[in-house]
Amino acid sequence: MPTNTFKSYSPVVFSSLLMFLLISCTGNLSPHPVLRVNADSENRSLALTEKKPAPSPSLPKKTEPPSTKTERPHLPPAVGPDALFYSEYAERLGLLLDGSENKELLKAIEEWMGTPYQWGGCSEIGIDCSCLVKLIYEDVYGISLNRTSLFIYKYDLVPVAKDELREGDIIFFQIKRKPVSHMGIYLKNNRFVHASQSRGVTISDLNRRYFQKHFVFAGRPAREESTVSAQLALNDLVVVN
């Protein structure tokens, strides 16, 4: 009988046959094959469902716009009886003043500062570079110059080396094809006052590349030079009793 035949198998053979069937179906020798497969499946599902947080977009760094503010030079403390005057004008004109500067020249410059440029102009409404120099020289030094920059350059001045410039000297630039087409009055520390076409009457730095490129001549009035030479000679005299 089949029933009797099945019962005739020993328990050892039956358990071996059952183990063989399990190994053939799963291909896994683990004592808990079903649990391990379930655990691996669960881990893969979690890995697929878990999303890494998207990286936050990098924002461009903010760059400060170039400063348009004109930096004034550091001003030393004023000393002497005219300390207040020089400290005020140093601040107004943005210059380094030590008290040796011509006070009338500083006053004249301040009166014209900011006046618009006008070709051929010679008033507070508008002024050009040659008239500015002419009026300041008449007001401060009592010297009458020609009206145009070319005539002042040709007839009114004696040459001065660039490295020997001093306050009040007149400097010229060749911007166009003319021998000279622009001029101003030298102050000190490579600063000069002039009537700029774009900014009106202003103080600029002679060391700027633009002015270095176009600089052609410097001079001072012959009468002023004679007066200075006479003063130096007088100082050298020794009076003998």
Please identify which of the residues 25, 74, 182, 214 carries the catalytic annotation: 182
- What's the pTM value of the predicted model, to 2 decimals? 0.63
Q: For residue 61, what pLDDT band results from cuts at 50, 70 and 90? A: low
Structure-model confidence comparison of residues 182 and 240, the more confident one: 182
What SS3 class is residue 114?
coil
Q: What is the 3-state secondary structure (H, E, C) of 128-179?
A: CHHHHHHHHHHHHCCCCCCCCHHHHHHHHEEECCHHHCCCCCEEEECCCCCC
Please identify which of the residues 32, 74, 129, 214 carries the catalytic annotation: 129
**pLDDT the model gives residue 138:** 97
Q: At what angle do helices 83-93 and 103-112 cross, to 10 degrees?
A: 30
Q: Does 182 participate in catalysis according to the annotation?
A: yes
Find the range with the poorest average confidence among 10-24, 77-91, 167-181, 193-207: 10-24
Q: For residue 81, what pLDDT band results from cuts at 50, 70 and 90? A: confident
- Model confidence over 231-240: pLDDT tens digits? 444 444 443 3
With b meaning 16 or more CB within 10 Å and e meaning fewer, what string describes 184-215?
A: bbbbbeebbbbbbeeebbbbbebeeeebeeee
**pLDDT the model gives residue 68:** 41
Q: Would you say 131 and 123 are in contact if contact means Cβ atoms under 8 Å apart?
A: no
**pLDDT the model gives residue 55:** 58
Report how far residue 183's alpha carbon sits from residue 88's, in angstroms, rounded to the nearest whole number.
27
Residue 156, φ and ψ in degrees, nearest 5: -105, -10
**pLDDT the model gives residue 178:** 86
Q: For residue 10, what pLDDT band results from cuts at 50, 70 and 90? A: low
**pLDDT the model gives residue 97:** 95
Find the range with the poorest average confidence among 34-38, 46-50, 51-55, 129-133: 34-38
Closest by alpha carbon to 171, among 199, 207, 206? Answer: 206
Residue ranges of the domains in the chain? 103-233
pLDDT of 34 over the 50 cut? no
Residue 11, φ and ψ in degrees, nearest 5: -60, -30
| CATH class in words for 103-233 | alpha beta
User: In the chain, what is the greatest distance between 2 CA atoms, to the nearest angstrom?
Assistant: 169
Residue 172's DSSP bridge partners are 183, 217
Find the range with the poorest average confidence among 120-129, 172-181, 232-241: 232-241
Report how far residue 229's alpha carbon sits from residue 131's, in angstroms, rounded to the nearest whole number.
27
pLDDT of 181 over the 60 cut? yes
Q: For residue 211, what pLDDT band results from cuts at 50, 70 and 90? A: very high
Most trustworthy range by pLDDT among 9-13, 32-36, 49-53, 132-136: 132-136
Q: For residue 35, what pLDDT band results from cuts at 50, 70 and 90? A: very low
* Average pLDDT over all residues of the chain: 78
Please identify which of the residues 25, 32, 131, 194 carries the catalytic annotation: 194
Percent of all residues in the chain with a pLDDT value above 70, rounded to a whole number? 60
Q: Does 32 participate in catalysis according to the annotation?
A: no
**pLDDT the model gives residue 207:** 97
Report how far residue 72's alpha carbon sits from residue 94's, in angstroms, rounded to the nearest whole number.
5
